[in-house]
Amino acid sequence: MSTPERLIEATQELLWERGYVGTSPKAIQQRAGAGQGSMYHHFAGKPDLALAAVSRTAEEMRKTAGRLLDGPGSAYERISAYLLREREVLRGCPVGRLTMDPEVVASDALRAPVDETIDWLRGRLAEILQEGLDGGEFPPGIEPRDVAAAVVATAQGGYVLARASGSAAAFDAAVRGLLSLLAPHPTPALPA
C-alpha cells in the first residue's frame, strides 16, 4: 500500500475512533507508519488529509449500500439486506459519527461528502420504495421520500441506542421494528 493510501486509511480509522480534534497528525503518522515529511509531501496538512479520508469513507459507504440496494430481490428484500448487513454496531456508523463531530459540521468542505452521501442514500432508498409502491409491494399512500428518511433515521438512531446501551441488541430491535412495519402485507381477497 502506498504512503498516501496508508495515511488516508489511518485517518479514516482515527476519525471513526476519536473524531477530528482527537486525530492528531502525530497519531496519523504513527498509525500509518509514515514520517512527518511523507505526510506533508502528499497532503497540505491535517484538513487536506481529513477531507481525503472523509471522502473515502463516504465513497465506501455508498459502495457498500449500493451493492445491497442494487442487488437482486424485491424492494423489501433489498432494503432488508441493507439494514441487516454485517456492521460494527458498537463502533457506530463511520459516516454518521462524522455528523456528531463539531469540527466536521463546522467545515463546509468536510461536511459536504457526508451530506452528499446521506442525501444519496435517502434518494436511492426512495427510488426503491417507489419501485415497491408501483409494483404493489407496499400499500398505496406511503410517501417514499419520508419512508426513506425513516429508514436512514432508524439505522443511525439504532447505532446511538446500541452505543448508549453497550449492546447491539438495541440496533437489532430498531431494525426488526422498522422491517415489520415495511413488510409487505397480503392483499385481502375481494368478494366475488
Q: Could you tell me the residue ranges of all domains in the chain? A: 55-182
- Residue 126 phi, psi dihedral angles, 5° rounding: -60, -40
Contact at 8 Å (CB) between 76 and 132?
Answer: yes
Q: How many residues does the chain have?
A: 192
13-37 residues labelled b (16+ CB within 10 A) or e (exposed): bbbbeebbeebebebbbebbebeee
Q: Tens of pLDDT along the chain (192 residues)?
A: 899 999 999 999 999 999 898 999 999 999 999 988 889 899 998 999 999 999 999 999 999 999 999 999 999 999 999 999 999 999 999 998 888 889 999 999 999 999 999 999 999 999 999 999 999 999 888 999 999 999 999 999 999 999 999 999 999 999 999 999 999 866 555 666
Contact at 8 Å (CB) between 16 and 60?
Answer: no
CA dihedral angle for residue 88, residue 89, residue 91, residue 95, rounded to 10 degrees: 90
The second-level CATH assignment, the architecture, of 55-182 is Orthogonal Bundle (1.10)
Taken in order 96, 97, 100, 106, the sign of the CA dihedral is: negative
E-assigned strand segments in the chain: none
User: Can you give the pTM of this predicted structure?
Assistant: 0.89
Helix, strand, coil % in the chain, rounded to nearest 5: 75, 0, 25
- The C-alpha cell at 160 is 446511538
